[in-house]
Structure 1
Amino acid sequence: MAAGIEAAARPGGPGVRVWDPVVRAFHWITVVGCVLDLGLLEEGEGPHRLVGYVLAAVLAIRILWGFVGTRHARFADFIPAPRRLTGYFRDLLAGRARDYVGHNPAGAVMMLALMALLVVVTVTGIMTTTDTFWGVEWVEGLHEAAAEAIIPLALVHAAVAILESLFGRVNLVAAMVTGRKRWRR
């Protein structure tokens, strides 16, 4: 870790500011919205659609924020090149994975995959409300398949964050609540 990060991350210190309020709000609104729409609300009904529109709005804001937001919110800060991603996995398997202030390369790929699925779900969901695409099987099928693909990816994402929080050097769950990362020795 860089010297400035090291000093800010000392035990008992304030940690390093990483996730801004826009990123954290997007994350938690998306979690709640996906739980509601994928597990609790009736598909196609008013509440399901309302949650879908809220998710569409926060997704649009997050995508815009990925270009104009704070440093670690910007896509340019964390989209890994293939070489960087393979190097990360090589180091991880060798037991020498380094710490990242923002997303690590695997976390970045997961976030991009989940956001891409949310885009597909959003676009196809909106399409099903139009006269042109209402009742069109491929649109409904794509909407359902993308929504169902979110579930295992989100579960893996959550499991890794929890495991890292329990056994790793960084409590990622706390960081997504507070916006600050603190490294443990």
Structure 2
Amino acid sequence: MTKQNEQIWDPALRAFHWALAVAVIGGWLLGQFGPLQMTLHFWAGYAVAALIVFRLLWGFVGPRNARFTSFLRGPGTVIAYVRTLPARTSVHPRGHNPLGGWSIVAMLAMLAAQVATGLILDPEDYINTGPLAGMVSADWNRWALGMHHTLAVVLLALVVLHVAAILFYRFWKREDLVTPMITGQRRQAGRSRKGRFTAPGRTG
């Protein structure tokens, strides 16, 4: 069985992925262990906000595999894909799989909520007030502060889940997800393997 490289991720999408990873992890570490004055933490948040905006735009105007229409599927397709997970046969949608597609949306929504709460929180320390805190009431400031801390824990759990999914695909499904996000290319068999998943209404 011959092997061939398939281009699946464009350079801009790969740069977004790794920049977001650095900004999110860096922001979390700075928030937990950084200096009392969280200027760098705020800048990490601004970077995350800019990256979210880019990804939303790229999801409409980017290459095929980057577009939301290429990987956001209905419940039936997602369930059909989930049923293939116990099998050790490798399943190769062209880009994001149906389950991963909705995971991306969930992550972007969670990050957007984290950024939004960071913009309006006020810890009443006269140092780390969000830049838009003055636009809302003190009750909203306090709510945003508590929610910001809660979402930080949720985001950490999502990052751990993301890494666990990568390891699952690597060692159970024998599918390398990391290298394609670096090189943009996936090495795959020259012909389809038995058990390959194909979304309804699509080929390839």
Structure-2-length-normalised TM-score? 0.76
8 Å CA contact 1:65–1:73 kept in 2: the answer is yes
Structure number with the higher helix fraction is 1
More displaced stretch, 79-88 vs 146-155 = 146-155
Cα-to-partner distance string for 1:32-52 (whole Å, 9 max, x where unaligned): 111111123437610000111
CA contact (8 A) 1:175 1:181 kept: yes
RMSD: 2.3
Query: Any conservation in 1 of the 2:90–2:173 contact (CA below 8 Å)?
Result: no
Once superposed, which parts of structure 1, at least 4 consecutive aligned residues long, lie more than 4 Å away?
94-97
Q: CA deviation at 1:147?
A: 2.5
Q: Sort the Cα spacing of 1:138 and 1:113 in 2 relative to 1 into closer, same or farther, 3 A.
A: same
Give me the identity figure in percent.
33
- Alignment match, 2:95: 102
Shift of 1:103: 0.8
Unmatched segments (≥5 aa) in structure 1: 1-5
1:167/1:119 CA distance change after superposition, 3 Å: same
1:134, CA displacement in angstroms? 7.9
Q: Which has the larger radius of gyration?
A: 2
Instruction: Map 1:165-176 onto structure 2 (within 5 A).
Output: 165-176=170-181
Q: Which runs of 5+ in 2 are unaligned?
A: 122-129, 194-204
TM-score (norm 1): 0.84
Q: Count residues with an aligned counterpart.
A: 175
Q: How far off its partner does 1:95 sit?
A: 5.5
CA contact (8 A) 1:124 1:139 kept: yes
User: How is 1:47-86 mapped onto 2 (pairs within 5 angstroms)?
Assistant: 47-86=40-79
Moved more, 152-161 or 57-66: 152-161
